[in-house]
A and B are shown apart, each in its own frame.
Chain A
Amino acid sequence: MERREAYDETTLVVDPARLLEACRFLRDEEGFDLLSDITAVDYLGWGEKGVAGYFGTAAGRDLNAPGEQGASVHSQGFGRSPEPKPARFAINYHLLAVVPGAPRVRVQIWVEESRPVPSVIEIWPTADWHEREQFDLMGITFEGHPHLRRIIMEDDWEGHPLRKDYPLGGEPVRFSGDE
């Protein structure tokens, strides 16, 4: 388990096998009783294209002292790839405690494709549709979910649209001058 702070937000990286334990602890002991959001991110192809050029930081770009944020570290404007991620999918659980000051925390787990994730529906019933949506759009199976079916796409849709290897689709635009 690891704890990261960035942009005033706390991210707790948890081992997937201990996810339920961690969530129960956060809900019961720390008081994070509102599950705001479950988001899965697909990091396929992360960092393949190097990032170069201007970095829009508020302080501007000082050639003598590289900035502290993000990709401009060590970069001074030259090409740099972001660091590779531990696994293909990251699942983020955004939690909120309903007390003044609104403390928030993000629980993050990393899974490879086709590895099932325990469902937190017992802890927060609102996870029902969030998990179904991530299953539908990203293909992450949640173990222990009583009704894991497609929710947004049609029931017989093939593929998981939000994955990086799924094409955007649509039609090529035809211009009248070309015909």
Chain B
Amino acid sequence: MAVRKKQRLADYGLNSERVLWRGKGPGVFEQELAPLEDRLMLSTVDKAVAWAQGSSIWPDTFGLACCAIEMMSIVSSRYDIARFGAEVFRSSPRQADLLIVSGRVAHKMAAPLRQIYDQMLEPKWVIAMGACASSGGMFNNYTILQGVDKIVDVDSHIPGCPPRPEALVEGIVRLQEKIKAGVPPAYEIRGVAS
């Protein structure tokens, strides 16, 4: 996954870090790994990296509305998300891997949401938690963004209003399985807004 050079965000014309820092090419890790992976036929190291990434996804504190309260309860001791690797919720998007959009996104909030998403470092995943983030929910009106996948690439949608904590945990576990299977993050598959 680290050496797949074809689909960069820069190719989609996004203002991410890589575009702003034009001289940036593959990092040291990637440069060292490239010949090694060629020799090992890419599988084992890729799998190890995927296992490591999937088992320690740290979410970003992006709670918006009611779903945020259920998201807080997965941190609590009963539905403990730390046993699945999401040890801490990082407040800075630079330190987070996973953006759980929990709650309804108003058009006013769409710009900050995109900013946070852009500040996250790759690889990054997005879970649209709840009906409002997936599709606008019960609010089909002038002010709510009808589905957060209009502005960010979503890996996993979780239905519910609000989804039970167990549903959110299942969503995260399924995302982990996807990552460990080698499925690339959504921005590499889909491009910006599909």
A and B touch in the complex (CB under 8 A): yes
Cβ of A171 and Cβ of B108 under 8 Å apart?
no
Kindly provide the distance from the CB of B7 to the nearest chain A CB, expressed in whole angstroms: 28
Cβ of B108 and Cβ of A170 under 8 Å apart?
no
Cβ of A171 and Cβ of B142 under 8 Å apart?
no
Residues of A close to B139: CB separation below 8 A: 170
Residues of A close to B141: CB separation below 8 A: 168-170
**B136 interface contact, C-beta 8 A:** yes
Kindly provide the distance from the CB of A43 to the nearest chain B CB, expressed in whole angstroms: 21
Cβ of A161 and Cβ of B143 under 8 Å apart?
yes
**B140 interface contact, C-beta 8 A:** yes
Residues of B close to A168: CB separation below 8 A: 140-142
> Which residues of chain A in 59-101 are interfacial with respect to chain B, using CB atoms and an 8 Å cutoff?
none
> Which residues of chain A in 138-178 are interfacial with respect to chain B, using CB atoms and an 8 Å cutoff?
153-154, 161, 166-171, 173
Query: When A153-B108, A154-B108 are in contact, do A169 and B142 touch as well, CB less than 8 Å?
Result: yes
The complex places the Cα of A171 from the Cα of B140 at a distance, in Å, of 6
Q: How many contacting A-B pairs (Cβ < 8 A)?
A: 25
Cβ of B107 and Cβ of A170 under 8 Å apart?
no
Residues of B close to A153: CB separation below 8 A: 108, 143
> Which residues of chain B in 109-158 are interfacial with respect to chain A, using CB atoms and an 8 Å cutoff?
136, 139-144, 146
Cβ of B142 and Cβ of A161 under 8 Å apart?
yes
The complex places the Cα of A55 from the Cα of B29 at a distance, in Å, of 74
Cβ of A169 and Cβ of B136 under 8 Å apart?
no
Kindly provide the distance from the CB of A153 to the nearest chain B CB, expressed in whole angstroms: 7
> Which residues of chain A in 37-74 are interfacial with respect to chain B, using CB atoms and an 8 Å cutoff?
none
Residues of B close to A169: CB separation below 8 A: 141-143
The complex places the Cα of A173 from the Cα of B146 at a distance, in Å, of 10
> Which residues of chain B in 74-108 are interfacial with respect to chain A, using CB atoms and an 8 Å cutoff?
107-108
Kindly provide the distance from the CB of B168 to the nearest chain A CB, expressed in whole angstroms: 25
Residues of B within 8 A of A (CB): 107-108, 136, 139-144, 146
25 example contacts (A-B, Cβ-Cβ < 8 A) are as follows A153-B108, A153-B143, A154-B107, A154-B108, A161-B142, A161-B143, A166-B142, A167-B142, A168-B140, A168-B141, A168-B142, A169-B141, A169-B142, A169-B143, A170-B136, A170-B139, A170-B140, A170-B141, A170-B142, A170-B144, A170-B146, A171-B136, A171-B140, A171-B146, A173-B140
Residues of A within 8 A of B (CB): 153-154, 161, 166-171, 173
* Additional 8 contacts, C-beta under 8 A, given A166-B142, A171-B146: A153-B108, A153-B143, A161-B142, A168-B142, A169-B143, A170-B139, A170-B142, A173-B140
